[in-house]
């Protein structure tokens, strides 16, 4: 590594202390949005400035960092942030969910279940779940303070009235520890059940909106619903085309201009791990690779 031109993990120590204080407060009050003095980061708002600040504040030299964007380790955003910390903190990076101690994520929770020594850091664009129903910040804060969450159900009611079912598919509101209603950032509602009683610490950073919130390990997280329209996680009709996983979140990939498409795991690490373990889907290239290898050997 080059001689560091920055303090360890880019931010100065006083800023990190300020962010850590906000994180501690957020952990003490699960689901409560703690304001913090968000700094400008060397990337545009919307690219994960909140998540990066939280990661910078909690990262230690021994940590192993994994960054995913929509489940994938190899998109521009994920690679840039991973390189950013490799350069400014000199920490080890990985794409393996199991080996990572800090995982920064945008829009997904890894399929591999997390364990107690991990921290999941979410990048959050809009932390306020009531924002689109009640534009006044003063009013939404008061509603949180008094636990007046009738309005959240108005949104779900509207969904059912319009579409016949709760059509909210991402940023699906949850109630944390039976108190605060929280926006789980734009993760698909498929991932909501993974937040409940999770052994890993979950931290949420919103850089532009200057808020940090958290779900401590083993905390109850309930997705809001109606008695007669219960919460249902997303279901897919087909398995992953590459690794044949039946229970993972799939991305649709258009493969030509004739309307063909394939559905593959959005979590690339999970998909690759399964393929390495010998699971092959309908469109997997593995049989051809095997044959090619046999041919070159023979």
Partner 1 sequence: MADQDLLETDQPLLVAESLSKSYGRIAACRDVSFSLYPGEVLAIVGESGSGKSTLLQLLSGQLAASGGQVSYRMRDGVTRDLAALGEAERRLLFRTDWGFVHQDPAQGLRMAVSAGANVGERLMAVGWNHYGRIRESASDWLTRVEIDVARIDDAPRTYSGGMRQRLQIARNLVTGPRLVFMDEPTGGLDVSVQARLLDLLRNLVAELHLAVVIVTHDLAVARLLSHRVMVMKGGRVIETGLTDQVLDDPREPYSQLLVSSILPP
To partner 1, the closest distance from the beta carbon of 183 in angstroms equals 18
Q: How far apart, in whole angstroms, are the C-alpha atoms of residue 106 and residue 123?
A: 5
Residue among 162 and 297 whose Cβ is closer to partner 1: 162
Residue among 227 and 252 whose Cβ is closer to partner 1: 227
265 assigned to active site: yes
Of 31, 50, 207, 281, the catalytic one is: 31
31 assigned to active site: yes
To partner 1, the closest distance from the beta carbon of 10 in angstroms equals 42
Q: Are 26 and 75 in contact (CB under 8 A)?
A: no
271 assigned to active site: yes
Residue 191 token pair: 């991932």
Of 50, 265, 273, 281, the catalytic one is: 265
Please, which residues have CB within 8 angstroms of residue 209's CB and are 6 or more apart in sequence? Answer: 50, 124, 125, 126, 127, 128
Residues of this chain that interact with partner 1 (CB under 8 A) are: 133, 142, 146, 148, 150-151, 153-154, 157-158, 160-162, 226-229
Taking residue 135's Cβ as centre, other Cβ atoms within 10 Å add up to 10
Burial tier of 257 (Cβ tally within 10 Å: 0-12, 13-18, 19+): exposed
To partner 1, the closest distance from the beta carbon of 156 in angstroms equals 8
Residue among 150 and 287 whose Cβ is closer to partner 1: 150
Q: How far apart, in whole angstroms, are the C-alpha atoms of residue 225 and residue 229?
A: 6
Report helix, strand or coil for 158.
Answer: helix
Of 50, 51, 71, 271, the catalytic one is: 271
Residue 130's φ and ψ, nearest 5 degrees, are -90, 0
Of 240, 259, 273, 281, the catalytic one is: 240
Residue among 175 and 274 whose Cβ is closer to partner 1: 175
To partner 1, the closest distance from the beta carbon of 137 in angstroms equals 17
Which of the residues are catalytic? 31, 240, 243, 265, 271
């Amino acid at each position: 590594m080059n001689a560091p031109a920055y303090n360890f993990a880019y931010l100065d120590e006083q800023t990190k202390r300020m962010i850590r204080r906000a994180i501690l407060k957020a952990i003490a009050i699960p689901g409560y949005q703690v304001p913090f003095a968000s700094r400008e980061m060397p990337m545009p708002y919307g690219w994960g400035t909140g998540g990066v600040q939280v990661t910078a504040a909690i990262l230690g030299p021994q940590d192993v960092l994994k960054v995913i964007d929509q489940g994938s380790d190899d998109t521009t955003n994920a690679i840039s942030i991973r390189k950013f910390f490799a350069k400014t903190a000199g920490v080890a990076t990985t794409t393996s969910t199991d080996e990572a101690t800090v995982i920064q994520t945008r829009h997904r929770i890894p399929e591999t279940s997390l364990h107690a020594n991990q921290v999941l850091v979410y990048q959050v664009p809009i932390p306020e779940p009531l924002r689109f129903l009640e534009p006044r910040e003063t009013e939404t804060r008061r509603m949180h303070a008094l636990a007046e969450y009738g309005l959240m159900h108005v949104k779900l009611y509207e969904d059912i009235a319009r579409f016949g079912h709760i059509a909210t598919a991402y940023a699906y509101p949850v109630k944390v520890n039976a108190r605060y209603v929280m926006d789980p950032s734009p993760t698909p509602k498929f991932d909501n059940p993974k937040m409940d009683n999770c052994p890993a610490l979950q931290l949420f950073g919103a850089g532009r909106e200057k808020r940090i919130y958290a779900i401590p390990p083993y905390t109850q997280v309930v997705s809001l619903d109606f008695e007669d329209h219960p919460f249902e996680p997303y279901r897919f009709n087909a398995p992953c085309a590459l690794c044949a996983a039946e229970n993972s979140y799939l991305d649709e990939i258009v493969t030509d201009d004739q309307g063909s498409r394939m559905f593959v795991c959005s979590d690339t690490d999970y998909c690759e791990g399964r393929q390495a373990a010998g699971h092959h889907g309908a469109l997997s290239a593995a049989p051809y690779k095997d044959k090619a290898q046999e041919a070159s050997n023979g």
